[in-house]
Chains A and B, each alone.
Chain A
Amino acid sequence: MQRTYPQWRQYLTLFKIRFIAGLQYRAAALAGIMTQFAWGGMTVLLYRAFYLADPAAFPQSFEAMCSYIWIQQAFLAIFMVWGMDPEPFNLIKSGDIAYELCRPVSIYWMWFVKSSAIRLAKAVLRCMPLLIFALLLPEPYRLILPDAGRLLLFAVSVLLALVNIVAFTLLIYISTFYTLDSTGLRSLLSTLAEFLSGGLIPLPFFPDSLQRVLALLPFAGMENTPLQLYNGTLTGSQAAFGIGMQLLWAAVMIGTGVVWMRCALKNVVAQGG
């Protein structure tokens, strides 16, 4: 039976099926787009009020700020740490994890691939209307299209952010093997990640000393790095450093997750049935 059937095909199929399934939720996508229009618009207006008061008090121009907000809203499905696939939590709580363990695949990579597919499918489905709308807005509120080089750098960094976020959420999933209910940990960590990654306020708005620490934490790479690469705040060696940190943290979090998952599965007790 053992043929030359490459192993990555398994994970590719898992990705494909979740991606396709994710694309079928049209109503949810529409609702998401509406929310992101409204939210993005409100944020832009909020910052406009601040900038009118004193434009010199801000670390980046209002135009760059608007681009930051629109890209953030367009790819929210990738960036929102709190928007986790509830399935692994339910599998662990209900014991249906038993079936997952009967599959000849690594649970870690199976969940990794699935979470990535769900986030990517949502983003693909929702980003286009928002991007087109934001590009057509009048100055200075519009989304600015950078040159091809920066766009490419942004694309690479967004994918790395996705990897970082998914690796981070997997650690939360694995903790559920021990706590059984991760509601507390989940809301605590996702709020923390949201704040420290620049989800609420862009990181350049933080005090300088704090910024130096934040740049070393895994959270900056989850949102701030790609967004600042897009709007041109992060360039040269700073850009290289940002992407380097993304790579480093991805490796650290994935490594921890794989080992931790192995320990957790040794102690797993699927109850009932």
Chain B
Amino acid sequence: MIEVEHLCKTFTVSRRDAGIRQAVSALFRRETEKIRALDDVSFRIEPGEMVGYIGPNGAGKSSTIKVMSGILTPDSGVCRINGLVPWKQRKEHVRRIGVVFGQRSQLWWDIPVIDSFMLLKDIYRTPDAVFHKNLSQLTEMLSLQEILRTPARQLSLGQRMRCEIAASLLHEPAVLFLDEPTIGLDAASKLAVRDFICQLNREKGTTIILTTHDMQDIEALAGRIILIGKGKILMDGDIEDFRRQLSPVRTVTVSVRKFADMVLPDGVQLVQKQGETGGRMIFTTDTGKVAVPQLIGLLSEKLEMYDLSVENVSMDALVLSLYRKYQI
């Protein structure tokens, strides 16, 4: 179980304007500014949960992950993971967690991946039986057979990321932190990584905390979302809550043989019309006022439709509206 209470961390950032005079004066008097990276952050995560931790760049996501993985010492606040305080009992704590930083590499670049794995086995003091069981499972689930004997520097980004994830799981951690695990990956690799993460959570009950800017990751993976902005937790709930609260709007796209004029009820808007006399029409409806079935009934009365689709607002748009709402 992960308990985080009233976590605060302040960084000092130095500032100066461009130009020689400013640079010279900065030699004598330096202007600094305190940035509150974490401002009274609190949450609880139960074992086996899969949580998406989102927020714009610089919101404090990575700082939180770093505190939880024992890298960063906060100014104040409590963090207890399975009873241990990460920055105080670092060595015991990190033995039980796995961490993947999507933008960094933990594989030794000039030796084959399998050698890196063997080294990690000894570093974590994983018993032989556990290691070999996990290695063969991970090799199969992430299709690593072909690439284990290649030096890490010769792997593609997708291959490397699969190896990174495997590397963080060899010691069977109960908690896995993924900091932007799909950054820069192509569609196929992203899907492979997502499928694997789901499977891991389902089959082994690993608690997973994931930060990402890719909203499809969040949609595919996280049941629960924590939104952070300017160091503060702004929302904490499941995906459907987010949608309902933020966006009661649905988009209905119809293709028609011939356009027709009609009076639209309050709450429905025609956003776009493509084509001369017939083609695509895109409507949005506020489901609080006009429900989707109602709108479809209305449209089919007036128009000769041959195709129809209904969409939720995309996660990207949703998150953007959230950022706007909280002015972050």
Contacts and interface: CB of A to CB of B under 8 A. Distances in A.
A14 B123 CA distance: 8
B103 interface: yes
Given A103-B94, A104-B92, A17 B127 contact: no
Given A17-B111, A98-B66, A103 B103 contact: no
B62 A273 contact: yes
A7 B91 CA distance: 12
Given A101-B70, A106-B91, A266-B73, A273 B180 contact: yes
A149 interface: no
A21 interface: yes
A17 B119 contact: yes
A98 B124 contact: no
A273 B72 CA distance: 14
Q: For B101, B110, B127, which residue has the most chain A Cβ atoms within 10 angstroms?
A: B101
Contact of A273 (B103, B126, B127): B103
Interface in A3-38: 3, 5, 7, 9-10, 12-14, 17, 21
A21 B111 contact: yes
B83 to A, nearest CB: 15
A21 B123 contact: no
A9 to B, nearest CB: 6
Interface in B84-103: 87, 90-92, 94-95, 97, 99, 101-103
Interface in B20-75: 62, 66, 69-73
A9 B101 contact: no
B179 interface: yes
B106 interface: yes
Contacts of A99: 99, 101, 104-106
Q: For B66, B70, B126, which residue has the most chain A Cβ atoms within 10 angstroms?
A: B66
A15 B69 CA distance: 26
B122 A10 contact: yes
B125 interface: yes
Interface string B161-190: 000000000001000000110000000000
B304 to A, nearest CB: 54
A101 B71 contact: yes
A269 B9 CA distance: 11
Q: For B11, B72, B179, which residue has the most chain A Cβ atoms within 10 angstroms?
A: B72
Contacts of B105: 96, 99
B286 interface: no
Contacts of A14: 119, 122-123
A258 to B, nearest CB: 14
A10 B118 CA distance: 11
Contacts of B66: 98, 270
Interface string B258-286: 00000000000000000000000000000
A103 B106 CA distance: 10
A101 B106 contact: no
Interface in A237-273: 266-270, 272-273
A98 B62 CA distance: 11
Given A3-B127, A269-B11, A102 B72 contact: no
A254 B97 CA distance: 30
Nearest to B177: A102
A216 interface: no
B3 interface: no
A1 interface: yes
Contact of B123 (A94, A98, A103, A272): A103
A27 to B, nearest CB: 14
A93 B127 CA distance: 34
Q: Which 7 A-B pairs have the closest CB atoms?
A: A13-B122, A104-B95, A5-B125, A99-B106, A273-B103, A101-B71, A104-B91
Interface of B: 11, 62, 66, 69-73, 87, 90-92, 94-95, 97, 99, 101-106, 108, 110-111, 115, 118-119, 122-127, 130, 172, 179-180
